Chain A
Amino acid sequence: MRNSVLTIALAAITLSYSCAQDPENKVDTIENPPYSAQLIIDELQTPWGMVFLSENELLITEKSGELVHFKNGKKISVKNVPEVYNRGQGGLLDIELHPDYENTGWVYISYASEEGKEKGGHTALIRCKLDNNSLTNIELLYKASPNTTKGQHFGSRIEFDNEGYLYLSIGERGARDENPQDITRDGGKIYRFYDDGRIPEDNPFVGKEGAKTAIYSFGHRNPQGLAKHPDTGEIWDNEHGPKGGDEINIIKAGANYGWPLVTYGVNYSGTSITDKTEMEGMTQPIHYWVPSIAPSGMAFVTTDNYKGWKGSILVGSLKFQYMERLEMDGTKVVKREKLLTDLGRVRDIKEGPDGLIYVAVEGKGIYKLVPKN
């Protein structure tokens, strides 16, 4: 009897844990959004990443390999951009500035690169300077290996934290059983570097035999959103899961996020990958999407320009072609809102130096969300 009471109590605890989130979470469509969307840069095909050089000046990566410099209302193509492996989801990917860009001039770019012996490509990270509309002083900071001709899961977002460490996400390159759980292999990881590409001595796998010591966390599938939390300074990611398994995670040193051993999703065919959604030693997501929205880009709202939005996370949906606002209470999602519907695949989102939200949409361009009073 005592045993069975204990069992029931345990079951109840387990149940309440695994039901921390409703399995099918609801997204609301709203009638009067607090903005009007204004297309400020048009005719972009796949604007993958963007960064502000100043209030009205941006650098935008086109997946095809073109780097666009938008200045004085005009688009100029930047020269001397490394050749990219433009296949499947690979190409010219994210772009970010050094936290002290004004003094250092460093620009960081991630892309799919063919460098290496094997056929195919894998994610690379460079830093460089922009001089006279050309990239100069190019330094290769990291190149994942081995190359593969697989078309999927390159990652890759770049973000800095408050201490100046540089984070890079790399997807598992379509090799879920080989890469994400193996710290001696690239892919399915989030990496941490010093700003010059050196590996920090206190990275979690430094000293581990055979480990890729740039790895900071593992067990990821394909993180295409990476953002620093404005209050805590933590790095958060969003990542494409399989069907029904897209996630938001808070990135911790040495943590294993479980792919493909635990997931809330299933194969695209509907067949099961695993029946496990949690396992000891594996970090749980703070949110997962059912159905999958295919998240890309991630930004925290830090201003009061849009009523009620401060502290929210904005995420692009490639699959359903909208921008999602997730209202947060700490690390809990309390509300989801569907915005910018029917414009196109939302690839990247940034809060500009002017405190306004800018959104990169495939096949369209860059939209500015002008607040409504």
Chain B
Amino acid sequence: MKTFNSSLFILIFIGCFANAQETELSESMMRGSEIYADFCVTCHLEEGEGITNTFPPLAKSDYLAQNRQESIRGVKYGQQGEMVVNGVTYNNIMTPMGLDDEEIADVMNYIMNSWGNTSEKIVTVKEVEAITK
């Protein structure tokens, strides 16, 4: 009985923890969606579809899925030059947006979990802080 009780306790504990993390993610995504509408949507468009050959897509983007650090760095410091996204070569410029680290984490969580994208690990402010030029 005692074992059962403690297992139950552990299960509830894990459940709560997972739940809390989910809430954290959805709250971050909610804030991120506002940042997206403010700073990103004019080029990357509403569904993250971008414009082929001009502005790379974020939706189902292999680059985004495989280059987490580089993507955060791009948003934080801006990005310029050639990159290949979903088989298409882009050579353009994204100027730094002037977002703070929390805003960057939020918008990353939004784009990494929208339009068919999924990410297992939430982007934290700490993670953004640690990324340097």
Contact = CB atoms under 8 A, between A and B. Distances in A.
Partners in one complex: yes
B27 to A, nearest CB: 19
Interface string A122-157: 000000000000000000000000000011100000
Contacts of B80: 45, 363
Interface residues of B, number: 18
B41 A268 contact: yes
A371 to B, nearest CB: 28
A88 B51 contact: no
Contacts, number: 52
Interface of A: 45-46, 63-64, 85-88, 90, 150-152, 174, 268-270, 294, 319-321, 344-345, 362-363
25 contacts: A45-B80, A64-B95, A64-B96, A87-B97, A87-B99, A88-B38, A90-B98, A151-B97, A151-B98, A152-B39, A268-B37, A268-B42, A268-B45, A268-B46, A269-B46, A270-B46, A319-B43, A319-B54, A320-B51, A320-B54, A321-B54, A344-B93, A345-B92, A362-B93, A363-B93
B95 A45 contact: yes
A151 B45 CA distance: 16
A86 B96 contact: yes
Contacts of B41: 268
Interface of B: 37-39, 41-43, 45-46, 51, 54, 80, 92-93, 95-99
Nearest to B81: A363
B94 to A, nearest CB: 9
A294 B96 CA distance: 19
Contacts of A363: 80, 92-93
